[in-house]
């Protein structure tokens, strides 16, 4: 399988999921601005949406949307525990978190990346983001991960998007439980392997 990604983008969550599950993927870097791959070919030919991630399966089919890709990868290795069994309430809890992260956290970051947006628009988005962080902080207080003690695809996704606070210079100190969650996920070996592979951090000596 081939994973089309952009370093540090939401595709990192799918990359982390694959490594946590022990699935070897061929990484294909896509430029989300030019919509080109490293060989100069058109990324739209892979994913007509032009967004990452995209997962090309061994049968040639292409799966898009990170939330779907993460669950697909997790279900290839159910023993990994990255996604509970389909039909269980535990699975729906993970899906509940995935939906929240994608619709409420991920999308709230979007206006902050657009250089064309006026400062008032960015200030409004940041205020909304801080409200999400307030709620997340209460949910994570006293918990190791979003659903308890087990790391799931939802944790990979939340870690990835909250990590965008770094380039945006948003201090997580006001949200200690969220900050501790970020540090806890970052400390995972497979998470660091994915970040090294994407050039986000340097490999430890």
3-class SS at 33? coil
Q: Are residues 179 and 105 in the same domain?
A: yes
How do residues 91-100 score in pLDDT, each as one tens digit?
Answer: 999 999 999 9
Domain, as residue range, for 75: 2-81
How do residues 92-150 score in pLDDT, each as one tens digit?
Answer: 999 999 999 999 999 999 999 999 999 999 999 999 999 999 999 999 999 999 999 99
**Which pTM does this prediction carry?**
0.96
Q: Has residue 195 been placed in a domain?
A: no
Q: Has residue 196 been placed in a domain?
A: no
Q: Has residue 198 been placed in a domain?
A: no
Q: Which of 12, 8, 5, 25 is nearest to 153 (CA)?
A: 12
Q: Are residues 47 and 95 in the same domain?
A: no
- Cβ-based neighbours of 170, under 8 Å, separated by 6 or more: 126, 129
In this prediction, residue 203 carries a pLDDT of: 84
Q: Has residue 116 been placed in a domain?
A: yes
Burial class of residue 27 (count of CB atoms within 10 Å of its CB; 0-12, 13-18, 19+): middle
pLDDT for 202 beyond 70:
yes
Q: Is omega for the bond preceding 106 within 30 degrees of 0, making it cis?
A: no
């Amino acid at each position: 399988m081939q994973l089309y990604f952009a370093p540090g983008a939401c595709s990192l969550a799918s990359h982390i999921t694959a490594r946590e599950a022990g699935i070897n993927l061929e990484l294909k870097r896509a430029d989300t601005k030019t919509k080109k791959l490293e060989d100069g070919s058109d990324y739209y030919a892979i994913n007509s949406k032009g967004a990452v991630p995209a997962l090309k399966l061994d049968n040639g089919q292409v799966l898009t949307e990170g939330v779907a890709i993460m669950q697909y990868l997790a279900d290839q290795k159910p023993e990994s525990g990255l996604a509970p069994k389909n039909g269980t309430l535990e699975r729906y809890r993970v899906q509940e978190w995935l939906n929240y992260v994608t619709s409420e956290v991920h999308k709230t970051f979007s206006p902050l990346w657009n250089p064309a947006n006026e400062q008032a628009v960015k200030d409004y988005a940041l205020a909304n983001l801080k409200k999400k962080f307030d709620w997340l902080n209460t949910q994570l207080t006293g918990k190791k991960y979003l659903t308890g003690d087990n790391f799931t695809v939802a944790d990979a996704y939340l870690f990835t998007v909250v990590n965008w606070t770094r380039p945006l210079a948003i201090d997580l100190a006001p949200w200690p439980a969220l900050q501790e969650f970020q540090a806890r996920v970052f400390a995972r070996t497979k998470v660091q392997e994915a970040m090294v592979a994407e050039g986000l951090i340097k490999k430890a000596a």
